[in-house]
């Protein structure tokens, strides 16, 4: 059984016991435990089930590479699935549940899949579920979705109770990894004065060296780490962050650091995760190496673990993974585990070493001296046991698996060698080279990720760089730190590499399959990818079926596609693939390493953007008044505009109808502040506007306004609005609400890139003004009541503007109308907007004043046949389609869009044109509905002859009115066409003029 | 006028690790022109009493100042009640030179973040190197804060003054409150 030892556990605070629960059972651990070590201490070896076959799974590793130990953590707003037990620090009250099983972890019905595994090889889903086609969606997918999957998704009604944030940091040298290599590289870099950040993903510095032993400058690795950490912490130019993972390396030295602030202490105040967005001139990845499993039958049975992990649990946490541990290896490093176990008083019945007998290295000799039986040239034929290892069957590595001996044990420590963690080096294009002696890919220093000047901006130190001895690791790290400082523009100081000593090791023997000649039966039980249930036989089958590219084989078999992204399985899998394809491993290559290194929380990616600040909401100066007066809000870009002001007892529709009638009969106020206002000034301003608008603006007289259309260079209508000439050199261009920023940008683009020699400056002054549309037959009366300007028709004509004073406010008044009523738009400085609005409401009280919202605005303009950018236009509509030829200058030699509008397709008589549409029964046409003609098109669909662009119920006309684009529309006045609705009903509408209300235009002309 | 209301009517928040305030109305004039021209320089410096700023810098004297916005744009600061006078003086100084000077005081909101953690609070929102050695009083940045445009400078070593669009004032204020939440000290700037 696995249990807590009486001694050991360098990371534990044994004076502080913690209680936690697993699947509802309360268990005990210590401060300093991970959830994995605490579960093992309580003999909870079985932690989960695999994805496909629901095989029993126990923890196999001790760090972020763990594929098996995934649990659901927390409840309600703190619930989170798929958390790795090996990287979850224990805290008081932690609640974890195993996942992917039913009805329980111990008895899982889904495990039947495993019995059927012979019938579910690689590509099974692709082959099985393709016929008949319709079955996939309705039969297969729902069943598979139910059976497969890891943890449950959080409940839709639960909201994450935590907060998250981003942090922008800049440094000269970023060191990822706080092992001895990272710390030494940081020291060498920092000596130059460079600003250094060290990021370590775990809570502890020192990495593997503190467990694996060796001496550095005559001290233990642990003492060395303590000393160098103190040294670094004392430096002003060094920042060390633990619990911060280097998640991804991107272009231009951009690196994401994922800091887990309180996963280990959820009761703390502050954000849970912080995503560091770091710009580093140079990044050093000192990310160490990951031990590889060996591929033998039954290597997935709980109790079979990486040798280094078993060692970590003993040394760091004082936990034995079993009483009797068989070590199986192809290298010397695993002997350290056997020795550590022996020192902890545990039994090691044998070390099974696949290498042929030869000279004993230091470690082999030490193991033998401890009385451990060493079996050279041997391998494991199969592991016995179900939910727990009970023993191993030993065979010759060179053979086909004939059992020579059975050894009873309850744990197996395996080591297939070490693979440098090259992920971060590779994220941004760093290339790899195959190291024959270590049988691993290592970074190729000649092909680093390149920065803006073609310089390498990532370098690798220590074990991540393929170094294997403590001395070489520290020498490499020292050089790397100095070089990085130099590359970041600093003068490196002479820093001596520490002198390190550790055991001299015998060379490793690449072993990709154990035994070498294992038959199908053994191969189909030799796991490569634990989480996704990919076995040696699956990869071989993929190769046989023609999946020769490693990227294809990966997707076909799902090798390395689980949440661990193949940290353990990748190299073993592609070695098997290479062997099947009879090609060397480097020729097969690796799959692509993509960020993040391990999954990061969605919350950290969103950062602060949630709740109130999920998105900016732009508010006009009168926002609070609207809110207090029943505004039903409509998002318009990032603005919130009142759609209607709903009074008590009204529906939103009632309110819209009331506002629409009242504005035509009495007085309406609209908050028009959001409309874009752009100042265009300079000697060439007129020339510039003549190019931007389709009509002539340069001839506009000072004091006058003119409606204008703007097209893109492709001829399509992009914006419209009223232009006022302020003085000889100055115009004020109104744009649509959504167009303010884009049209400002459009103007700047043309001025900066094409007409840079024209003397024009533009400024976006949209928000300088609160603008109120005062609309209706009583508009003049209301403004006269404020007093201060002569508003008579003679003194202030239609399409004119004047600066003046109204009710003591300095205003700029425009007599313009988007409603067909007598109407003024009054601009005041934004900080007086609310006061001005209040004044208008006061003088309007006797005149039947009501504020109105955007829907009323829409109905009023539709009654008049005025187009709306975004309704009548959709990026494919030209002014000619809308009957706006009157606003297209024929005199101008050029304007943006002119040439495009002469293209064959643009002048075709087949273009749909704007008309009004009146339903026969006065109902309202469905917005966006299509009109159908005779016959079908080449695809067998009904022929379309038009579509509705705007549709409303008009309370003034007491009927539905609509505008639409219809084939030959203006030539078909009076014809009735049919619009099938999505409700199954056919709507009949007569083609009419788009001007429904006051066609003579008498109402505003008073 | 007595009816002037700034975007957030001088709201303040002191519940987190930094103090956040909307500081009321500040006179602001956008000046666009060739910044090397004598008339443009004179229009800017004569009304503010400060030197022309260099790239990425701002020169201040109380409520007056000049901020470098781009190669052909300055933000001219003056007391809110002196904007009209200032503009008139600038137009006189500009004479016939091609330039654009326009009042944008009401289009903007001004906020301050202060306290020992002010740098960190700002560094959570703006992609700018705000370490004490990189960003100092006298410097000026036109950048973004989370999802909106903003510009800022340091009034002193522990106080940032932020300019954003008036419509975004509440968003920026709320952002700062989130960034200054208790327990969120980073401890990066030494």
Q: What is the DSSP string of A842-870?
A: HHHGGGTEEE--HHHHHHHHHHTT---TT
Cα torsion angle, A348, A354, A360, A361, sign: negative
Token readout for A650 is 């009204």
**A160 inside 8 A of chain B by CB:** no
Please report where in the chains the tokens 């029993």 appear, as a residue. Answer: A56
Straight-line distance from the first to the last Cα atom of chain A, in angstroms, rounded to the nearest whole number: 97
What phi, psi does A745 have (nearest 5°)?
A: -65, -40
Q: Are A767 and B106 a contacting pair at CB < 8 A?
A: yes
Residues 592-621 of A with CB under 8 A from B: 607-609, 612-613, 615-621
Cross-strand pairs, A889: none
SS3 of B187, please?
coil
Q: Are A608 and B175 a contacting pair at CB < 8 A?
A: yes
The residues, any chain, with a CB within 8 Å of residue B105's CB and separated by 6 or more, are A768, A829, A831, B25, B26, B27, B28, B29, B80, B83
Token readout for A937 is 């098109």
Report d(CA B37, CA B41) in Å as an integer.
6
Rounded to a whole number of angstroms, the distance from the CA of B153 to the nearest CA of chain A is 17
Contact A717, A880 (CB under 8 A): no
- What domains sit in chain A, N to C, each tagged with a CATH number? 3-114 (3.10.20.440), 165-289+420-494 (3.50.50.60), 293-416 (3.50.50.60), 526-588 (1.10.10.1100), 909-992 (2.40.30.110)
3.30.70.1520, 1.10.260.40, 1.25.40.10, 3.40.50.1000: CATH of B27-106: 3.30.70.1520
Cα torsion angle, A846, A848, A849, A850, sign: positive
Q: Are B146 and A277 a contacting pair at CB < 8 A?
A: no
Q: Are A765 and B104 a contacting pair at CB < 8 A?
A: yes
The pLDDT of residue A114: 66
The residues, any chain, with a CB within 8 Å of residue A12's CB and separated by 6 or more, are A30, A31, A32, A33, A317, A318
Measure CB to CB from residue B166 to each of A168, A616, A830 and give the nearest one. A830
Rounded to a whole number of angstroms, the distance from the CA of A219 to the nearest CA of chain B is 31
Q: Are strands B19-22 and B108-114 parallel, antiparallel or unpaired?
A: antiparallel
Q: Are B106 and A168 a contacting pair at CB < 8 A?
A: no
Q: Are A765 and B183 a contacting pair at CB < 8 A?
A: no
Angle between helices A307-317 and A333-343 (to 10 degrees): 40
Q: Are B134 and A832 a contacting pair at CB < 8 A?
A: no
Cross-strand pairs, A668: A775, A850
**A169 inside 8 A of chain B by CB:** yes
Contact A70, A84 (CB under 8 A): yes
Task: Find the mean pLDDT for residues B156-166.
Answer: 97
CATH 3.30.1360.120 residue ranges in chain B? 12-24+107-179
Q: How many CB atoms within 10 Å of residue A818?
A: 21
Q: In B62-155, which residue ranges form alpha helices assigned H by DSSP?
A: 83-94, 118-123
User: How many CA atoms does the CB half-sphere of A240 hold within 13 Å?
Assistant: 25
Q: Where are the extended beta strands (E) located within A304-404?
A: 304-306, 319-320, 325-329, 351-353, 374-376, 378-385, 389-396
Please report where in the chains the tokens 């197996």 appear, as a residue. Answer: A412
The residues, any chain, with a CB within 8 Å of residue B167's CB and separated by 6 or more, are A618, A619, A620, A639, A767, B7
SS3 of A72, please?
strand
Q: Are B178 and A613 a contacting pair at CB < 8 A?
A: yes
- Within 8 A of B181 by CB-CB distance, chain A residues are 163, 269-271
Q: Are A761 and B100 a contacting pair at CB < 8 A?
A: yes
SS3 of A313, please?
helix
| Eight-state DSSP code of residue B52 | P
Token readout for A265 is 């202490």
Mean pLDDT by 10 residues, chain A (1006 residues): 92 97 96 98 92 88 95 93 96 93 71 66 68 71 65 89 97 98 98 98 97 94 97 97 98 97 96 98 98 97 98 97 97 97 97 96 97 98 96 97 97 98 97 95 97 96 96 97 98 92 93 96 95 93 93 92 90 95 93 95 96 96 98 96 97 98 98 98 98 97 98 97 98 97 98 97 98 98 97 96 97 97 98 98 98 98 97 97 96 96 96 97 96 94 96 97 97 97 94 96 90
**Would you call A505 exposed, middle or buried from its count of C-beta atoms within 10 A (0-12, 13-18, 19+)?**
middle
**A626 inside 8 A of chain B by CB:** no
Q: Are strands A809-815 and A800-806 parallel, antiparallel or unpaired?
A: antiparallel
Q: Are B167 and A270 a contacting pair at CB < 8 A?
A: no
The continuous run of DSSP H or E covering A418 comes out as strand A418-420
SS3 of A504, please?
coil
**Would you call A941 exposed, middle or buried from its count of C-beta atoms within 10 A (0-12, 13-18, 19+)?**
exposed
Token readout for A353 is 């070493």
Q: How many CB atoms within 10 Å of residue A609?
A: 18
Token readout for A725 is 């000439």
**A516 inside 8 A of chain B by CB:** no
Q: Where are the extended beta strands (E) located within B108-187?
A: 108-114, 140-145, 148-156, 159-165
Cα torsion angle, A782, A785, A789, A792, sign: positive
Report d(CA A264, CA A94) in Å as an integer.
9
The pLDDT of residue A410: 96
Instruction: List the one residue out of A197, A260, A183 whose CA is nearest residue A227.
Output: A183
Nearest-Cα residue of chain B relative to residue A810: B1
- Cα A782 to its chain centre, rounded Å, is 53
Token readout for A887 is 């606003």
CATH 3.30.70.1520 residue ranges in chain B? 27-106
Q: How many CB atoms within 10 Å of residue A110?
A: 18
Q: Are strands A667-671 and A849-851 parallel, antiparallel or unpaired?
A: parallel
CATH topology (fold) of B12-24+107-179: Gyrase A; domain 2 (3.30.1360)
The residues, any chain, with a CB within 8 Å of residue A699's CB and separated by 6 or more, are none
- Within 8 A of B25 by CB-CB distance, chain A residues are 831
Report d(CA A838, CA A849) in Å as an integer.
12
Report d(CA A120, CA A125) in Å as an integer.
8
Measure CB to CB from residue B123 to each of A167, A830, A832 and give the nearest one. A167
**Would you call B139 exposed, middle or buried from its count of C-beta atoms within 10 A (0-12, 13-18, 19+)?**
middle
**A279 inside 8 A of chain B by CB:** yes
Best B22, B103, B119, B124 member to test A by mutation, with max A CBs in 10 Å, is B124
**A161 inside 8 A of chain B by CB:** no
CA angle A523, A527, A528 (to 5 degrees): 110
Instruction: List the one residue out of A972, A919, A973 whose CA is nearest residue A948.
Output: A919
The pLDDT of residue A267: 93
Report d(CA A959, CA A920) in Å as an integer.
10
Does residue A515 have a cis bond before it (omega within 30 degrees)? yes
Token readout for A585 is 């491993």
Rounded to a whole number of angstroms, the distance from the CA of A685 to the nearest CA of chain B is 11
- Within 8 A of A250 by CB-CB distance, chain B residues are none
pLDDT in tens, B45-66: 999 999 999 999 999 999 999 9
Q: Are A761 and B108 a contacting pair at CB < 8 A?
A: no
Nearest-Cα residue of chain A relative to residue B173: A613
ipTM for this model: 0.97
- Within 8 A of A767 by CB-CB distance, chain B residues are 106-108, 165-167
The pLDDT of residue A16: 97
Q: Which own/partner pairs from A209-214 qualify as long-range (CB within 8 Å, at least 24 positions apart)?
A: A209/A179, A209/A180, A209/A470, A210/A10, A211/A308, A211/A311, A211/A312, A211/A315, A211/A316, A212/A311, A212/A333, A212/A336, A212/A502, A213/A336, A213/A502, A214/A470, A214/A500, A214/A501, A214/A502, A214/A503
Q: Are A170 and B134 a contacting pair at CB < 8 A?
A: yes
How many interface pairs between A and B have CB atoms less than 8 angstroms apart? 138
Q: Are strands A325-329 and A411-415 parallel, antiparallel or unpaired?
A: parallel
């Amino acid at each position: 059984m696995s249990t807590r030892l009486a001694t050991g556990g360098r990371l534990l605070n044994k004076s502080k016991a913690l209680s936690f629960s697993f699947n509802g059972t309360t268990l005990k651990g210590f401060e300093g435990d991970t959830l994995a070590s605490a579960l093992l201490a309580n003999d909870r070896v079985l932690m989960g089930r695999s994805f496909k076959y629901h095989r029993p799974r126990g923890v196999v590793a001790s760090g972020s590479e763990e594929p098996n130990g995934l649990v659901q953590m927390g409840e309600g707003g703190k619930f989170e699935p798929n958390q790795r037990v090996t990287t979850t620090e224990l805290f008081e009250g932690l609640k974890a549940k195993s996942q992917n099983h039913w009805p329980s972890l111990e008895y899982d019905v889904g495990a039947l899949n495993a019995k059927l595994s012979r019938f579910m090889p690689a590509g099974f889903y692709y082959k099985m579920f393709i016929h008949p086609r319709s079955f996939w969606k309705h039969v297969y997918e729902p069943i598979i979705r139910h059976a497969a999957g890891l943890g449950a998704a959080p409940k839709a009604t639960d909201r994450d109770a935590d907060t998250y944030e981003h942090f922008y940091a800049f440094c000269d040298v970023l060191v990822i990894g706080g092992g001895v290599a990272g710390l030494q590289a940081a020291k060498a870099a920092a000596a130059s004065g460079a600003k250094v950040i060290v990021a370590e993903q775990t809570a502890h510095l020192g990495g593997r060296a503190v467990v694996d032993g060796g001496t550095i400058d005559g001290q233990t690795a642990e003492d060395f780490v303590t000393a160098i950490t103190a040294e670094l912490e004392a430096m002003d130019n060094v920042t060390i962050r633990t619990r911060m993972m280097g998640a991804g390396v991107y272009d231009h030295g951009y690196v994401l650091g994922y800091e887990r602030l309180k996963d280990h202490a959820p009761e703390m105040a502050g954000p849970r995760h912080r995503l560091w967005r770091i710009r580093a001139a140079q990044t050093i990845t000192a990310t160490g190496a990951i031990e590889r499993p060996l591929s033998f039958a039954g290597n997935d049975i709980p109790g079979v673990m990486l040798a280094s992990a078993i060692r970590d649990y003993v040394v760091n946490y004082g936990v034995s993974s079993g009483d009797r541990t068989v070590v199986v290896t192809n290298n010397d490093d695993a002997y350290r585990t056997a020795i550590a176990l022996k020192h902890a008083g545990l039994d090691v019945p044998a070390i099974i070493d696949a290498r042929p007998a030869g000279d004993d290295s230091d470690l082999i000799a030490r193991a033998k001296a401890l009385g451990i039986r060493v079996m050279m040239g041997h391998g494991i034929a199969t592991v016995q046991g179900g939910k727990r290892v009970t023993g191993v069957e030993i065979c010759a590595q060179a053979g086909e698996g004939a059992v020579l001996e059975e050894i009873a044990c309850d744990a197996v420590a395996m080591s297939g060698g070490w693979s440098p963690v090259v992920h971060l080096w590779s994220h941004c294009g760093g290339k790899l080279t195959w190291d024959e002696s270590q049988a691993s890919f290592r970074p190729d220093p000649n092909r680093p990720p390149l920065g803006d000047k073609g310089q390498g901006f990532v370098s690798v130190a220590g074990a991540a760089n393929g170094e294997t001895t403590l001395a070489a690791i520290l020498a490499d790290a020292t050089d790397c730190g100095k070089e990085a400082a130099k590359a970041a523009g600093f003068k490196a100081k002479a820093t001596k590499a520490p002198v390190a000593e550790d055991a001299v090791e015998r060379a490793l023997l690449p072993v990709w399959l154990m035994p070498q000649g294992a038959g199908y039966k053994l191969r189909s039980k030799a796991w490569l990818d634990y989480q996704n249930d990919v076995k040696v036989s699956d990869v071989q089958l993929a190769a046989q079926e023609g999946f020769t590219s490693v990227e294809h084989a990966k997707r076909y078999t799902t090798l390395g596609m689980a949440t661990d992204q193949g940290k353990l399985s990748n190299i073993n899998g592609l070695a098997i693939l290479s062997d099947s394809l009879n090609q060397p491993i480097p020729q097969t290559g690796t799959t692509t390493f993509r960020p993040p290194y391990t999954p990061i929380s969605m919350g950290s990616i969103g950062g602060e953007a949630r709740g109130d600040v999920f998105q900016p909401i732009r508010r006009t100066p009168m926002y609070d008044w609207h809110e207090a007066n029943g505004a039903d809000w409509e998002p318009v870009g990032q603005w919130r505009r009142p759609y209607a002001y709903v009074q008590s007892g009204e529906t939103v529709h009632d309110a819209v109808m009331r506002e629409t009638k009242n504005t035509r009969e009495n007085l309406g106020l609209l908050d028009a502040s959001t409309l874009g206002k752009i100042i265009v000034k300079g000697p060439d301003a007129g020339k510039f506007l003549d190019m931007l608008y389709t009509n002539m603006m340069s001839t506009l007289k000072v004091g006058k306004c003119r409606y204008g259309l703007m097209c893109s260079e492709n001829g399509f209508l992009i914006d419209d609005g009223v232009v006022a000439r302020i003085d000889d050199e100055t115009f004020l261009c109104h744009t649509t609400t959504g167009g303010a920023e884009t049209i400002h940008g459009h103007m700047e683009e043309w001025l900066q890139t094409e007409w840079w020699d024209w003397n024009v400056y533009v400024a976006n002054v949209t928000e300088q003004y609160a603008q109120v549309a005062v609309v209706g037959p009583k508009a003049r009366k209301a403004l006269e009541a404020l007093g201060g300007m002569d508003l008579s028709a003679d003194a202030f004509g239609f399409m004119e503007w004047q600066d003046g004073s109204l009710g003591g406010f300095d205003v700029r008044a425009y007599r313009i109308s988007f409603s067909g009523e007598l109407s003024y738009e009054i601009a005041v400085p934004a900080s007086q907007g609310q006061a001005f609005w209040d004044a208008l409401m006061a003088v309007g009280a006797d005149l039947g004043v009501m504020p109105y919202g955007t829907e009323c605005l829409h109905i009023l303009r539709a009654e008049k046949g005025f187009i709306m950018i975004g309704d009548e236009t959709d990026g494919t509509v030209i002014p000619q389609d809308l009957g706006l030829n009157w606003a297209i200058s024929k005199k101008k030699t050029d304007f943006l869009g002119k040439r495009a509008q002469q293209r064959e397709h643009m002048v075709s008589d087949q273009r749909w044109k704007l008309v009004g549409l009146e339903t026969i029964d006065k109902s309202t046409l469905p917005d966006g509905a299509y009109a159908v003609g005779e016959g079908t098109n080449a695809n067998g669909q009904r022929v379309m002859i038009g579509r509705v662009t705007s549709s409303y119920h008009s309370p003034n006309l007491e009927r539905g009115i609509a505008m639409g684009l219809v084939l030959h529309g203006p030539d078909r006045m009076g014809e009735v066409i049919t619009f099938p609705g999505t409700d199954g009903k056919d709507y009949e509408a007569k083609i009419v003029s788009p001007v429904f209300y006051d066609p003579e235009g008498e109402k505003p002309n008073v | 006028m007595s009816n002037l209301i700034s975007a957030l009517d001088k709201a303040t928040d002191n519940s987190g690790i930094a103090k956040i305030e909307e500081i009321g109305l500040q006179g602001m004039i956008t000046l666009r022109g060739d910044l090397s021209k004598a008339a443009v320089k004179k229009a800017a410096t004569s009304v503010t009493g400060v030197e022309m700023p260099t790239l990425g810098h701002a020169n201040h004297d109380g409520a007056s100042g000049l901020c470098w916005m781009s190669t052909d744009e300055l933000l001219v600061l003056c007391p809110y009640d002196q904007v009209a006078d200032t503009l008139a003086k600038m137009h006189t100084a500009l004479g016939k030179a091609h330039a654009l000077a326009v009042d944008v005081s009401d289009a903007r909101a001004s906020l301050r973040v202060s306290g020992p953690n002010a740098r960190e609070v700002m560094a959570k929102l703006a992609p700018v190197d705000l370490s004490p050695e990189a960003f100092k009083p006298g410097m000026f940045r036109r950048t973004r804060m989370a999802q909106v445009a903003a510009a800022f400078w340091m009034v002193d070593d522990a106080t940032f003054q932020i300019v954003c669009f008036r419509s975004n004032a509440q968003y920026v204020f709320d952002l700062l409150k989130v960034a200054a939440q208790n327990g969120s000290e980073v401890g990066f700037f030494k």
